[in-house]
A and B are shown apart, each in its own frame.
Chain A
Amino acid sequence: MTAISLPQNRVRTVQRWLVFLGALLLWQVLAARAANPYFPPPVQIAGAAGRLWLSPLLGTNVLPSVARLLGAWAVASVLGVVIGLGLGRSRVVADYFEFLFSFLRTLPPPLLVPVFIVAFGIDSRMEIAVILFGVIWPVLLNTMDGARSVDQVKVDTARAFRISRGRWVLGVVLPAASPKIFAGLRVSLSISLILMVISELGGSTSGIGYQLGTAQGQVDLPGMWAWIVLISLLGYVFNRVLLQVEHRLLAWHRGAMGWEQ
């Protein structure tokens, strides 16, 4: 099976890249013909990207932005999973909090930027707080949902074999909830990228979002586009890495669901 499907996969990968490169080429041709300064052709954007991404800005603005984003996302994820597991297995407490959480979740996170600017000032603490508060809900609610749906037969089995509490939570509830947790993690990772940019645009003196705003202010349009491309590249890479991790950790789930056999 693998021997046949491997070349097929390669062909598909090549096809995908051809479509991508074709689109890029089309964009280049159209933008060059239009000669509209607001839509510079990709070659010009690439030039600006080389100038900006590889400058000292990488160490002073780009990497700190990425670190804040990933740090805040990781902390929110751990908190979301821990709280979600606890609440998901206790019906009474969950009933009390469910409505509150659902309400907080529907709050558009960018609205928090002005609130946290007042609270923390123009500061990286503000950005971290915005991301934390904005992305914890998908993880928390998904974990709760996953933890709640543990099979009753597994509950009985664990009780009959006197599985300790810690092993029950980490060895049964957490893995059982993990497909839903990963869905939450993916949503929250893409929201953290959005929140990073928005909070840096509105209340920061450094970072990718700040550089984007600066380029805009200086009417450096290729530079602006270069930052936009960097942000989408980051989003793509983060998502790919998370999907890879998920693919490895949830191989059992695909198997058990009969998606791959």
Chain B
Amino acid sequence: MLDVSGLGHTYGSGDKAHTAVGEVSFTVEPGELVCIVGPSGCGKSTLLRCVAGLLEPSKGSVSLHGNAVSGVPDDLAVVFQDYSRSLLPWRTVAGNVEFPLRDRGLSKAQRRDRVAEALSWVGLSKAAGKHPWQLSGGMQQRVCIARALAYRPALMLMDEPFASVDAQTRADLEDLVLKVREEADMTVLLVTHDIDESVYLADRVLVLSGSPSTVVETLKVDLPGPRDQITTRGSETFVRLRTEVAQLIRH
């Protein structure tokens, strides 16, 4: 579904040029959850911005459903790391989820149904009338996830979505992503620097090298579902995979 080939990005030019992404190629199939993991500053976010169409890559191409992507594609949604800055404080939770739907030619009733459905997926039905700043960080990020789900994208991009929340909330949100991905039948591309998180969430893990990044290895995660924070993370396969990813990143 998503086909990234030979993608590279260099900021600036001449002496100040900095190549963030060297040359990256990968694909994401429908229904897959793919994690991109790499060391800090390896250009993961740059890569994601290129895929999202927010940044024009210096070289290479991105295609979605076989169509070359230029600009932001129509059926793609992004969950940003900085949830509080991504949400609109003057709109309610429901208003935030509904906001992107208003330009999609939906009737009022359709929009209301989609908002209600997305909020129930993330367990925030009761907070629909609150404002984002009345919620905890984890709840705010759930609003962002609901907003992305209500948009019904073919592909959901997540840029370090849980890097700004505490450990317990992080585990909850990871499980939430696994759950809604199942319920909404969503294809997800998630960028993280957390090795355990990538193995826990993904069907496939793409390991990036340091900047300028390239794909060092693609690992298939054959952990059985439904995954569980305690048993999955304690399983032999999990430990073997996380060790493997860690070794790939260190070298």
Contact = CB atoms under 8 A, between A and B. Distances in A.
A95 B172 CA distance: 47
B103 A163 contact: yes
Interface in A173-191: 175, 178
A108 interface: no
Contacts of A161: 77-78, 99-100, 147, 151
Q: Which of A153, A160, A252 has the most CB of B within 10 A?
A: A160
A159 B71 CA distance: 9
19 contacts: A153-B80, A153-B85, A153-B86, A154-B86, A154-B88, A156-B78, A157-B78, A160-B53, A160-B78, A161-B99, A161-B100, A162-B100, A162-B103, A163-B99, A163-B103, A167-B102, A171-B99, A172-B88, A256-B133
A160 B77 contact: yes
B241 to A, nearest CB: 31
**Size band of the B side of the interface?**
20 to 34
Return the 5 tightest CB-CB contacts between A and B, nearest first: A161-B100, A153-B85, A256-B89, A160-B78, A252-B90
Contacts of A253: 89-90
Interface in B88-107: 88-90, 99-100, 102-103
Interface in B126-161: 131-134, 147, 151, 157
A151 interface: yes
The interface residues of chain A, by DSSP majority, are classed as helix
B76 interface: yes
Nearest to A162: B72
Interface of B: 52-54, 72, 74, 76-78, 80, 82, 85-86, 88-90, 99-100, 102-103, 131-134, 147, 151, 157
Nearest to A174: B90
A164 interface: yes
Interface residues of A, number: 22
A157 B90 contact: no
